[in-house]
Amino acid sequence: MNLKIDPLEKIIDAVKTSQAMVNHLQIGLTWTSCLVQIGEQQSLGFAMSPGEKTRVLQWPGTIAGQSVSTLSKKLYSWDNFEATVAMAACNAVINAPSNPLLREAQPVQSSTTGNTAVFDYFKPRLENKKVAVIGRYPNLDKVLEGIDYTVVERTPSDQDLPDTAAEFLLPQMDWVFITSTSIVNKTFLRLSQLAKNAVTVLMGPTTPWMPEFNEFGVDFIAGVSVENRELASRIASEGGGTRLFEGGVKYCVADVSGARCQDLKHSIANTVKKRDLLKQQMESWYARGERGRFPDYLQLDQVDRELSELDIAYKRLWDATRG
């Protein structure tokens, strides 16, 4: 994982040459939707609406007619409404029906409700695993019954842990499901760093269908495909939450783990070489009759720990992609 990469800049770069213009924006109770015009085509994008109220926004009435490339800069805003609008607009362009990753993604079904289809899809691979879910999803307890999972939530219920628990919890997990709302609230980068050794799923209607997220350690993209644009827009505008998945959109999943798998292989090979060299140096040290601890013992111990973490991460990913 390249920690110098900025996920927001990746998204802005993806739309910077687009000529798309906003036709209509609506901020619903649960979902913000943005309809854009791309040439002769229209496309609808989503982002989760901020969970707060305000009566003093200064820009309502000015969004329609703006270019998506201009709005995209607001992803860096610390105003939740501005960043949400920017995310929805960018998603309308990135997640257009012609998106190659979206076209190749596998539609997934749910045995319960559409909003939990991703968990239904992965559930067989989660058995006997430690799982963390960033964000509380409706009906989650039902679909993940029997799975050892913990929810980390910014506004936790008595069943959840606060978001500060992520610092301690995520490095211990086998699987981590990250809500794409974390992109908007600027927590995604840290969450992905903490989950670097876990199998990571980036999910939700806020998800941009961008394979580049594998550069942040994401192994699976689980976003939505708009099935009925008019219905989806109407549901969002009328306050729909989980109902969005009842004919408006459906979940799809794409495996983007190939690059990370190769990176792990290379890292393991390089770390083994480093460990073997240190062991040879240690053997030579003692063969010369030196007393006391080998001077680079702590470095060798650290390399052993790194190799162990890499082996665990590779096995987790191997099992996940062959489930």
Q: With bands split at pLDDT 50, 70 and 90, how would you rate the model's confidence at 240? A: very high
Dig out the tokens for 312 from the structure: 């665990």
Neighbours of 266 (CB within 10 A): 10
Q: With bands split at pLDDT 50, 70 and 90, how would you rate the model's confidence at 1? A: low
Q: What is residue 70's predicted lDDT score, i.e. its pLDDT? A: 97
Rg (CA), the chain: 22
Closest to 218 (Cα-Cα) out of 108, 99, 134: 134
Domain range 100-227+247-257, its CATH number among 3.40.50.360, 3.40.50.11590, 2.40.50.140, 3.30.70.1230: 3.40.50.11590
Cα distance between residue 252 and residue 235, in whole Å: 20
Residues in the chain: 323
How far, in Å, are 8, 33, 68, 190 from residue 5 at the CA level?
Answer: 9, 27, 22, 12
Read off the pLDDT of each residue in 57-77 and give the average, rounded to a whole number.
97
Q: What is residue 139's predicted lDDT score, i.e. its pLDDT? A: 92
Q: What are the structural domain ranges in the chain? A: 7-94, 100-227+247-257, 260-321
What is the average pLDDT score of the chain? 95
pLDDT at 15 over 80: yes
Q: With bands split at pLDDT 50, 70 and 90, how would you rate the model's confidence at 111? A: confident
Q: What is residue 66's predicted lDDT score, i.e. its pLDDT? A: 97
Q: Are strands 130-134 and 148-153 parallel, antiparallel or unpaired?
A: parallel
Read off the pLDDT of each residue in 144-164 and give the average, rounded to a whole number.
94
Contact 194, 170 (CB under 8 A): yes
Q: With bands split at pLDDT 50, 70 and 90, how would you rate the model's confidence at 112? A: confident
| Single-letter amino acid, residue 202 | L
Q: What is residue 113's predicted lDDT score, i.e. its pLDDT? A: 86
Q: ∠ CA 63-68-69 to the nearest 5 degrees?
A: 130
CATH of domain 7-94: 3.30.390.100
Q: What is residue 110's predicted lDDT score, i.e. its pLDDT? A: 84
Residue corresponding to tokens 């992905």: 192
Q: Which of 2-6, 99-103, 209-213, 258-262 has the lowest mean pLDDT?
A: 2-6
pTM attached to this predicted model: 0.93
Q: What is residue 323's predicted lDDT score, i.e. its pLDDT? A: 61
- Helix then strand count (H, E) for the chain reads 12, 11
Q: With bands split at pLDDT 50, 70 and 90, how would you rate the model's confidence at 4? A: low
Dig out the tokens for 34 from the structure: 């943005």
